[in-house]
């Protein structure tokens, strides 16, 4: 299953979701597949860049019929830059999500970590956009499918403005994301499990169950502040956040 998903990403092609052939696949097994997938990517030269959260909004929970968020890994070869166009031919059916990023100033691990612990361990906050790109046909999957597929991770772009968390009210930061100059979505920090730091705390505690945690230097994408929007060649996406400024990319 690991090679199946790796091959789909390498060849930039859709595949049938895992649960079509493995309907009894459990969530713990899905995280095992994800871990082996990341290990293989790192054997090929990528390095760990951080962690990403998914399904952090109540609306997503209801849509997917789940009661908690999910997490995946960010690798160095997923990092994109505002000044370099994202190439559409390297992706399958990408979508953009606006995120609040945490840069960890110290390691953080455990199973009773709080939002306050997260903020104490965070060095900076920045605006970000994640580009998700499920390998599954028609972007349709179950919870275990998406976890195994590293939560649809593809690329991420961080803004240039990095601010100390003690200067911000993260729950009330507003966000507007536009495509080609027209407003596409709006949101606020509270959309992410009521507070982005609470979302990161959930992630640390979930990782702690597998004896893992956040590392100093990790970039953590705390979850989408709004629904994802599709884009195509020629499009420009800009996400503007109160106090944090903006982050953008263009697609070629």
pLDDT in tens, the chain (252 residues): 999 999 999 999 999 999 999 999 999 999 999 999 999 999 999 999 999 999 987 766 666 666 789 999 999 999 999 999 999 999 999 999 999 999 999 999 999 999 999 999 999 999 999 999 999 999 989 999 999 999 999 999 999 999 999 989 999 999 999 999 999 999 999 999 999 999 999 999 999 999 999 999 999 999 999 999 999 999 999 999 999 999 999 999
Which residue range forms the structural domain that includes residue 100? Answer: 2-250
Identify the CATH number of the domain in which residue 228 sits: 3.90.850.10
pTM score, whole prediction: 0.95
233 and 113 in contact (C-beta within 8 Å)? Answer: no
- 135-145 b/e with 16+ CB inside 10 Å = b? bbbebebbbbb
Backbone angles phi, psi at 161, to 5 degrees: -100, 115
Domain count, the chain: 1
């Amino acid at each position: 299953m690991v090679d199946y998903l790796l091959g789909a990403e390498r060849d930039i092609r859709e595949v049938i979701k895992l649960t079509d052939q493995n309907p009894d696949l459990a969530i713990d097994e899905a995280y095992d597949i994800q871990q082996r997938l990341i290990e293989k990517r790192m054997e090929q030269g990528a390095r760990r860049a951080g962690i990403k959260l998914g399904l952090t909004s109540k609306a997503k929970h209801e849509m997917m019929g789940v009661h908690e968020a999910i997490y995946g890994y960010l690798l160095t070869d997923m990092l994109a830059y505002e000044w370099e166009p994202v190439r559409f031919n390297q992706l399958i059916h990408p979508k953009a999500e606006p995120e609040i990023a945490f840069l960890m100033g110290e390691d953080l691990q455990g199973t009773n970590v709080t939002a306050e612990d997260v903020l104490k361990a965070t060095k900076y906050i920045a605006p970000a956009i994640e580009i998700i790109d499920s390998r599954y046909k028609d972007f349709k999957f179950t919870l275990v499918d998406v976890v195994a597929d590293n939560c649809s991770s593809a690329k991420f772009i961080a803004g240039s403005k990095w601010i100390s968390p003690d200067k911000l009210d993260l729950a009330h930061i507003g966000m507007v994301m536009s495509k080609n100059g027209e407003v596409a979505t709006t949101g606020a920090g509270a959309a992410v499990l009521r507070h982005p730091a609470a979302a990161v705390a959930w992630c640390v505690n979930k990782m702690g169950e597998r004896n893992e945690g956040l590392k100093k230097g990790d970039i953590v994408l705390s979850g989408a502040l709004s629904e994802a929007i599709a884009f195509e060649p020629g499009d420009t996406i800009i996400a503007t956040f109160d106090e944090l400024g903006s982050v953008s990319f263009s697609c070629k």
